[in-house]
Amino acid sequence: MNTTIVATLARKRGRKASVILTDRMCEKRMTERTKIYDRKCPGLYVSITTAGVATFSFKFTDRQTGKQRTGWLGVYNPETFTVEDARSRVYGLKGMGGEALSETFRDRKAGQLKRGKTVNQIIEERIEWMKTPIRKPDGEKRPRLESWENTASHLRRFLSPRLGKKLAMEVTKHDIATLSNDIVSGKHGGKPSVSNARHMRKAASGLFNWAAEAGRDYVTASPCINLPKLDPEHPRTRVLSEDEIRVFWHGLDRNDMPWDRRTRLALKFELVTMLRSSELLPAHRSELFDLNGEHPRFDVPLKRVKKRRVIQQPLSDLAVEIIREALISENQQFVFESPIYAGKPIHRKAMAAALRGTKHEKHKNKTKTPGLCELLGLRRFTPHDLRRTAATLAGDLGFDDAAIAKCLDHAVSRKGDVIVPTVTGKVYNHSQRMKEKRAVLDGVAAELRRIVGTVTAKATEQVGLRLAA
């Protein structure tokens, strides 16, 4: 039986439309979906959508069945799959023979079903993958990507409304760039924001790289490559002055404040310890050591640390005082326990809300509870600005940038004028440099006491160090 497969052009219209295909034709924008057949390689054609996606296919007739069949070859990409690549693929297929060619296209059809998924479908599948619990280095099972909620929010808020109903394989670099520009200009996603555009790009890049991995093959390549650069974001530089620190500190002690006392103590604690809000708010009794001794410290477990490493933070006498005031009973397990939910820590956004204030749910322009900044007459700042303020105080006291960086849990790359290889800190040197960190944090505590007017004997000694620096 003759099973020879002969490539033919199916319709007269197809022959009329046949030209010698070029890459430039594949990049041309069309007002309607257009098929262009290749005169140089019979059976090969490209289908170009109005969105600018060019897809190569191979049309042939199987003489055994007498039926015409079409096989999907791939999406045009100027870097990875050009017209010449498509022609080479067709020449190779023609040389395979009938049964092998049919089997190949059956596999391709299954792959095409995968590539028929919409952006919304792969977003939800990606989110399920990210939040699946796996065993971490500390032996605890947690989501595969522990920041999955933020990534999911960026995908659902920015990508899904604009591109969610589109086939994932048809999303182009132009689509992502246009979406990015609209976020920057405020046409999509709320107020203008370069930061939101950067977050969207990062989430979208992770999504499409994941979708292109072997075994999924929902797309052939990520559309998030070689995008135009975004304008640089200006780093925050808010640092509280001595007068502002004094007003803020004493204001936190006022009894007429509408915010819970433990939330206000947590704000003090961030200024005193340089820790991040997410690291200090869930502080548990079991993480505190030697509070009555000479070397009190707070061990932050790696699951709460940005770089997923345990932080051993020395506690100054001022930090210990704050802890003792926050722990009002022996049964209280969390230092900064929620005033609403017994046995739970304060919500991770409580400190920011206390500084900023809250709005009515129905009337967004009306203040529900005024923030501490407004009540105390201070220019707005965030909890993170307290870390920067403490680091600035330490710098003014004359402490080395490397020691301050250790207190902030930043990677140390410079010690004075000597550049320290990053690999040293990451791989070889696991020392917590407790003495250096304790000196910095004790110095900051003493300086804060001087500023707010509660100088102790130990603080006097530290202030003397400052005056000598």
Residue 75 has pLDDT above 90, yes or no: no
Give the pLDDT band of residue 332 (cuts 50, 70, 90). very high
Architecture of domain 242-468: Orthogonal Bundle (1.10)
Alpha-carbon gap, residue 270 to 279, rounded angstroms:
10
Q: What is the mean pLDDT of residues 308-317?
A: 91
pLDDT of residue 233: 82
Alpha-carbon gap, residue 202 to 230, rounded angstroms:
12
Alpha-carbon gap, residue 456 to 297, rounded angstroms:
20
| φ, ψ dihedrals at 159, nearest 5° | -80, -45
Residue 348 has pLDDT above 60, yes or no: yes
CA dihedral 412, 418, 421, 425 (to 10 degrees): -40
Domain parsing of the chain, residue ranges? 5-115, 119-211, 242-468
Residue 441 has pLDDT above 90, yes or no: yes
Give the pLDDT band of residue 462 (cuts 50, 70, 90). very low
pLDDT of residue 432: 58
pLDDT of residue 276: 93
Residue 114 has pLDDT above 90, yes or no: no
SS3 assignment, position 36: strand
pLDDT of residue 413: 55
What's the mean per-residue pLDDT of the chain? 84
Residue 8 has pLDDT above 50, yes or no: no
End-to-end CA distance of the chain: 97
Alpha-carbon gap, residue 401 to 422, rounded angstroms:
15
Alpha-helical segments (H) within 51-193? 83-94, 98-115, 119-131, 148-154, 160-163, 173-185
| Nearest C-alpha neighbor of 221 from the set 103, 85, 87 | 85
Alpha-carbon gap, residue 377 to 343, rounded angstroms:
34
Residue 126 has pLDDT above 70, yes or no: yes
pLDDT of residue 466: 37
Percentage of residues of the chain with pLDDT beyond 90: 55
Alpha-carbon gap, residue 383 to 267, rounded angstroms:
7
pLDDT of residue 454: 62
Name the pTM for this structure.
0.66
Do the two domains 5-115 and 242-468 of this chain adopt the same fold?
Answer: no
Q: What is the mean pLDDT of residues 425-450?
A: 79
Percentage of residues of the chain with pLDDT beyond 70: 83
**Across 57-71, 107-121, 135-149, 433-447, least confident range:** 107-121
Beta strand 133-135 with 44-48 is unpaired
Beta strand 44-48 with 34-37 is antiparallel
| pLDDT digits 0-9 by tens, 185-231 | 999 988 999 999 999 999 999 999 999 998 788 888 899 988 999 99
Residue 51 has pLDDT above 80, yes or no: no
| pLDDT digits 0-9 by tens, 128-166 | 999 999 998 878 899 999 889 999 999 999 999 999 988
Alpha-carbon gap, residue 309 to 302, rounded angstroms:
4
Burial of 194 (0-12, 13-18, 19+ CB in 10 A): middle
Topology annotation, domain 5-115: Double Stranded RNA Binding Domain (3.30.160)
Residue 25 has pLDDT above 70, yes or no: yes
**Across 99-113, 234-248, 299-313, 351-365, least confident range:** 99-113
Q: What is the 3-state secondary structure (H, E, C) of 339-401?
A: CCCCCCECCCCHHHHHHHEEECCCCCCCEEEECHHHHHCCCCCCHHHHHHHHHHHHHHCCCCH
Residue 398 has pLDDT above 60, yes or no: yes
With beta carbons less than 8 A apart as the criterion, state whether 248 and 378 touch.
yes
pLDDT of residue 391: 95
Q: What is the mean pLDDT of residues 339-345?
A: 89
| pLDDT digits 0-9 by tens, 365-393 | 777 899 999 999 999 999 999 999 999 99
